[in-house]
Amino acid sequence: MNRNIKRYIIIILGFIITGTGSALTLKAGIGVGAWDALAKSTSDLIGIEVGTAGILFNSSCVLGQILILRKQFRLRQLLQIPFSILLGTVINFMVYHILTFPFDSFGGGIVLYLCASTLSAFGVSIVMLLDEVTFALEGFCMALTKLLPFKFSTIRQAVDVISILMIIGLTLSAHISWSIGVGTILGMLTFGPTLGIFMKLFKPILKRHQLLNYE
């Protein structure tokens, strides 16, 4: 099989795994990461599916990259749109067609959230290591580094803070359910380190199969 075909098959699997993990964190019902929580609050507010809200937000991030980068925006970066659609579609399918059973255990929610977050980190690590298509939000934050005198990590963190403030405003004004909670804190504490572990584990495997574009 052609090397590039293998890479894109693995990337597709990475997005599917990430979407499944995101859906499971929503099912845990103890709060999710800031960006996913903003999609959930928007979904509750205007009555669209949560994955669809995510597609709209991620597509707007791609548009933001185009406006910021202009001629520096590479055609390949448009792949973020179909992959954002794939991610949102997986989330919608899992949330509204598979994970329809009742689940209201707080302790079980913590366990489910940690397992789901680990699954998401697994999927994200694959996509990041192959370095062919980035996630739309991260691509937008990277583009902002060309406009603002801040590092990527600072801008990415600022996006989370702004998202949480928007969620608080929406929840208090529109009386929708809270989408942030214990899971939001757990995600901030565990996702990054877990992602680092997976990237360290999988890099030599992908390298051995000559699937990386870098050493």
Reply yes or no on whether the pLDDT at 133 is more than 60: yes
pLDDT (average), residues 117-132: 94
Its pTM stands at 0.94
Which pLDDT band, with edges at 50, 70 and 90, does 213 fall under?
confident
The whole-number pLDDT of residue 66 equals: 97
Q: Is 213 exposed, middle or buried (0-12, 13-18, 19+ CB in 10 A)?
A: exposed
Reply yes or no on whether the pLDDT at 211 is more than 80: yes
Query: CA-based angle 122:128:133, to the nearest 5?
Result: 120
Residue-wise burial string across 97-127, b where 16 or more C-beta atoms lie within 10 A, e elsewhere: eeeeeeeeeeeebeebbbebbbbbbbbbbbb
**Spatial CA neighbour of 29 closest among 116, 110, 119:** 110
Q: What is the pLDDT of residues 17-50, one digit of tens each?
A: 999 999 999 999 999 999 999 999 999 999 999 9
The whole-number pLDDT of residue 214 equals: 63
Q: What is the pLDDT of residues 148-207, one digit of tens each?
A: 999 998 999 999 999 999 999 999 999 999 999 999 999 989 999 999 999 999 999 999
Q: Is 56 exposed, middle or buried (0-12, 13-18, 19+ CB in 10 A)?
A: middle
The whole-number pLDDT of residue 170 equals: 94
Question: What span, in angstroms and rounded, lies between the C-alpha atoms of 25 and 202?
Answer: 23
The whole-number pLDDT of residue 1 equals: 74
- Cβ atoms 23, 30 nearer than 8 A: no
The whole-number pLDDT of residue 2 equals: 87
Q: What is the pLDDT of residues 55-114, one digit of tens each?
A: 999 999 999 999 999 999 999 999 999 999 999 999 999 999 999 999 999 999 999 999
- Cβ atoms 37, 179 nearer than 8 A: yes
Q: What is the pLDDT of residues 43-59, one digit of tens each?
A: 999 999 999 999 999 99
